[in-house]
C-alpha cells in the first residue's frame, strides 16, 4: 500500500493510528428538528435489531476534551427495521438490553485480563 511519494515500511507509523471511523445517521424528531447521531453499537437482541446512539456533537466535544468526562454521553436506544430508526420506548426491554451489553463488556474485559 502506498500513498503519493510515500512507501509503507518498517518505520512507518500509519498502522498505529488509534482513530476509527464513526458511522453517523441524521434523524428527525417529531418537531421536524434534525440531529446527527453517532452509531456506537449495533446488535441483535431478543430477535430484534437495535442501535445504541449518542448525539454526534456530544461525542465530538468529549473527544476534543471540551466536555466534562464525568457527565458521560447521552445514550439513546433505537430499534432498527428496514433502515428506519425508531426510539425504544419499552423501558424493561431497554434495561435488559443495557444489562446484556454490560455483561458482554465484562466478558471482554475478563478475556483481555487472561491474555
What DSSP line would sit under the chain, residue for residue?
Answer: -EETTEE--TT--GGG----PPEEEEEE-TTS-EEEEEEEEEEEETTEEEEEEEEHHHHHHHHTT-S-TTT----EEEEEETTEEEE---HHHHHHHHHHHHHHHHHHHHHHHH-
If you count DSSP H runs as helices and E runs as strands, how many of each does the chain have, helices first?
2, 7
For the stretch 66-96, pLDDT in tens is: 877 777 788 999 999 998 999 999 999 999 9
Q: What is the pLDDT of residue 30?
A: 83
Give the residue extent of every domain in the chain. Answer: 20-89
Mean pLDDT over 12-20 rounds to: 48
What distances in angstroms separate CA 100 from CA 8, 34, 53, 104, one per listed residue?
41, 30, 16, 6
Amino acid at each position: 500500500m502506498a500513498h503519493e511519494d510515500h512507501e509503507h515500511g518498517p518505520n512507518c507509523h500509519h498502522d498505529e493510528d488509534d482513530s476509527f471511523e464513526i458511522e453517523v445517521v441524521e434523524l428527525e424528531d417529531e418537531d421536524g428538528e434534525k440531529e446527527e447521531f453517532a452509531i456506537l453499537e449495533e446488535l441483535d437482541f431478543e430477535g430484534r435489531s437495535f442501535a445504541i446512539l449518542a448525539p454526534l456533537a456530544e461525542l465530538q466535544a468529549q473527544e476534543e476534551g471540551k466536555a466534562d468526562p464525568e457527565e458521560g454521553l447521552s445514550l439513546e436506544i433505537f430499534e432498527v427495521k428496514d433502515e428506519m430508526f425508531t426510539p425504544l420506548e419499552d423501558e424493561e426491554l431497554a434495561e435488559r438490553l443495557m444489562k446484556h451489553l454490560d455483561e458482554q463488556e465484562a466478558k471482554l474485559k475478563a478475556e483481555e485480563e487472561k491474555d
